[in-house]
A and B are shown apart, each in its own frame.
Chain A
Amino acid sequence: MTQKTLITVFSVIALGIAVSCIGFVSLQHTTEAEGVGMPSFPTAIGSSGPYILAAPFPDVNDSYPVYRTVPPDTSAEEIRRIADRFGVSGEIGSMPSNGKIRLVDRSKDPAAEFTIYTNCGAVYYSIPAKVYPKCPDKEANIPSDDEARTIATNRLKELGLLPGNVHFEDVVAGDKMGITDKTSRTEYILTKYVTFFKKIQGLRVYGAGVGVTINDKGEVVRVGSSLREYDPKPIRYVKIVTPEQAYQRLNSGDLMVQPLPENYKKIAVTNISLGYWMDIPSNPQKYIVPVYVFSCDASWDGNTEQVIRYVPAVDPSEVQGLT
């Protein structure tokens, strides 16, 4: 191969690389300008990770009490007794997954259901035919937030699910239905959802709570409590990590629940607090332990949504050997 040929070959390769780089930059400009939303790598903030700290670290104690959960009484008599409080009777049937027991009361029209999780005592009442409306009823009016709160509070008091350490949290749209075409969107609120939270020794419980769903006729169509029973006498106090250490854990992905997002450009931590963790009803849980809660505003492509990250506040070694 002659020297001229070699020079030509290398020139072509170099030109190709240069043009590719220019084209790649141009391509990125195009996708951004057209809002295609091609994924980009999350912004790394310093060496600590993608979460931007926009809230002070809270003052916390060195140690907090740990509580033992109490298995519920799942005898048929007890289940019937609780179901009866909700006005539900019927055959008891077990569900094949998640350790649920369910009663369906077909004497009602439409039928009502009562479900209890046998490993934690979480209870749910619902009217399946009404709990997820298909479309708005033009004859009905969805209650205002205040009306919904009153309806929910009264119902929970009747059911004995509103003790002194359970507090009102919020009223949100429970279910919505929308119609979208090329130029417009119409949205209807189908149900209101009223939430309540529990406190243990002044710390809020996360991961579980109490909720009431009210439809557009003001009917209570669902009541749920995922709170676990626990022995109010602490097993003992355990040392917790500092808020700064928890922030490091957050950035390293050491979370109670792993999220599935891919598109956040920025996540700003707007509040940090300490609470107690109750796991989802289908998971077994022996102890109620402290958890750090990072409330965040996550944003992408002009959108922002609130996300919450739960970070273990206690090292596993702290709860090993508890009896």
Chain B
Amino acid sequence: MRTTDISGYLVRALIVLLVAGIAVAPVLGEEQQEKDLSVFRTDEGSGPGAAAPDGEGTAIVMTSAGPIAVEDLVPPYPPGWEPSRSPIARDGGGLYPATVFDPLSSTLILYPGWNLVSTPLWLADGHDTIAVFDEVDTAGHSVLWYNGSSGWEAMSSQEEFIPLEGIWIYANGSYQIPLYFKPVEEQTGATKHLYPGWNVVGFYGLSQESARDTLISLRNAWATAIGYDAGTQEYEVSMIRGATGSHSDQRLMFPGKAYWVYMTEEATLVPLKATKDYHDLDYPQVGVEWVDNYDFNWQNPLSQSSNTSRGFYNTLVEEGGWIPMFEYGDHNVQGFHFTEAFDRQYIDGVDVALSASHGAPNFLVLSGVGDFMEFEDCSWGDNDLEWIFLHGCHTTNTSVYFKNPRAMNGVRLVCGFETEGWDMNDGAALAHELLSGSKVVDAWFNATEITHYPPIRVRVFGETLDCRDEHIWGHGSQLQDDPPVDSQVYDWIHACQY
């Protein structure tokens, strides 16, 4: 039965509401995210200047000058120059910094005074040094670079200007600096090692991203990130990891800019966007999502989704050297992490992903009441995802949900259960199988066979027959080229055995 015309309007209205919900979800979601700052947190300090960024106590870091609230951390200024105004912007200031990169003309915009800039991509040969700024009247100031381990350094015109490195440059007037990028196929991965204390980090990529997503590979090692508004010549409001409100880590970082990032320990920054297909082998990335707890009382809570996911994640990271990109659990798991509009920052932003929760042939069950993630809303593999494990019942029971319209849109293998599955901890075993050189499909079969037995059946969907032979990056062979995406799907079913 089709709906009447009025319901058609309602469907559209519901879609509008859904879209609106998705739009605000990141903001709402952050209210519930874990606030597990590796820095100290106190319950005092509700007075001016020590207000908690999230209202739950003040985040404290230990510095050479003693303990200090993260919110009060002030990054260095170029030597010999002090700002005329407040050393750091407070609430209400610096939230809308001046634009420093024009993507249409690929130009950096310099404002009179000091500028903190970076190149968003690798520059073409002959245009990849500080010489691109040779025409700028610096009023006698050196171009400066901040070494996170040793401090300020002056840069010569011959030195490279590369992604993730931020430079300070003084401009005695306004300038537009054209940048000439390498072609897409020559854009390689970019990483930067960061040290405890202050570091300057350039923003990688041509589209803005939240601080949380931009710095996600640093896990809990970063405390705060602060931009510099060349238009006002002062620092912006800080973005504090795990914070909400004006200091939220959901605030955006922008192409062409660079940021001070305060680290509590060493870590390597690997931008999510930096490794798409070009350097999968160099920087293989993993992400996991899991649900143990459900808001509805008829749904049995699970105990092993988190263990399976963390076992998988930590084993690949600690024993395999994979780059840890995200681990979201319970209410921090959002449908938009999987679905087409935003997946490239989450599921489709890594090479291998695992999701563990209750499931069904056409959806995963998330924590909230009525919170389902439907496969038909997904488009995996058109960005980066090669392999995904769906540890939930019936997740690979019916291929039509992955091919109609296009959940499998470049992803090579989707591993799941044809029948129901059980709440078992098999993530670490799966990772060990993968790291020991098992094919992806064999690893899934071997790992689930340890914890399941008749009549349970596992099943894997493959884009092509040859996908069956793939291994994860660094532990065996892969297809030479991306598999063609068509309406056909191959599958392998294995009856779990004693």
Contact = CB atoms under 8 A, between A and B. Distances in A.
B423 interface: yes
B423 A208 contact: no
A132 B492 contact: yes
B498 A211 contact: yes
A29 interface: yes
Interface in B320-366: 357-363, 365
Given A26-B10, A262-B365, A263-B361, A174 B488 contact: no
A307 interface: yes
A5 interface: no
Given A37-B361, A306-B455, A132 B491 contact: no
Given A260-B358, A260-B392, A307-B420, A177 B491 contact: yes
Contacts of B10: 19-20, 22-24, 26-27
A179 B490 contact: yes
Contacts of B361: 37, 263, 301
B451 to A, nearest CB: 5
A53 interface: no
Contacts of A222: 497
Interface stretch (A83-91, A141-149, A251-259): A251-259
A160 interface: no
Interface in B48-70: none
Interface residues on chain B, size class: 35 or more
Interface residues of A, number: 69
Interface string A213-245: 100000000101110000000000000000000
Nearest to B302: A258
Contacts of B469: 134
A67 B468 CA distance: 44
Nearest to B452: A280
A258 B300 contact: yes
A13 interface: no
B11 interface: yes
Given A30-B2, A180-B488, A259 B11 contact: no
A254 to B, nearest CB: 10
A30 B360 contact: no
B197 interface: no
Q: Is the interface of A mostly helix, strand, loop or mixed?
A: mixed
Contact of A209 (B11, B397, B453): B453
B423 A176 contact: no
Nearest to B296: A41
Given A20-B10, A98-B429, A224 B498 contact: yes
Contact of A257 (B9, B422, B428, B489): B422
Interface string A261-283: 11100000000000000001110
A202 interface: no
Interface string B294-320: 000011101110000000000100010
Given A22-B6, A30-B2, A259-B393, A175 B442 contact: no
Interface in B274-304: 298-300, 302-304
B39 interface: no
B399 A42 contact: no
B450 A281 contact: yes
B429 A176 contact: no
B488 A259 contact: no
Contacts of A306: 455
A30 B491 contact: no
B130 interface: no
Contact of B432 (A37, A96, A226, A262): A96
Contacts of B298: 41-42, 44, 50
Given A27-B10, A30-B3, A263-B360, A177 B492 contact: yes
A220 to B, nearest CB: 13
Interface in A109-144: 128, 132, 134-135
Nearest to A193: B495
A65 interface: no
A6 interface: no
A176 to B, nearest CB: 4
B190 interface: no
Given A27-B11, A134-B468, A177-B492, 18 more contacts: A19-B6, A22-B10, A27-B7, A27-B14, A33-B1, A36-B362, A37-B361, A128-B442, A132-B441, A172-B495, A178-B493, A195-B498, A213-B497, A222-B497, A224-B498, A226-B453, A260-B302, A260-B422
7 contacts: A98-B429, A177-B490, A178-B493, A179-B488, A193-B497, A208-B453, A280-B450
Interface of B: 1-4, 6-7, 9-11, 13-14, 298-300, 302-304, 315, 319, 357-363, 365, 372, 391-394, 397, 399, 403, 417, 419-424, 428-429, 432, 441-442, 445, 450-451, 453-455, 465, 468-469, 487-495, 497-498
- 6 tightest A-B contacts by CB? A23-B10, A26-B7, A263-B360, A258-B423, A261-B393, A209-B498
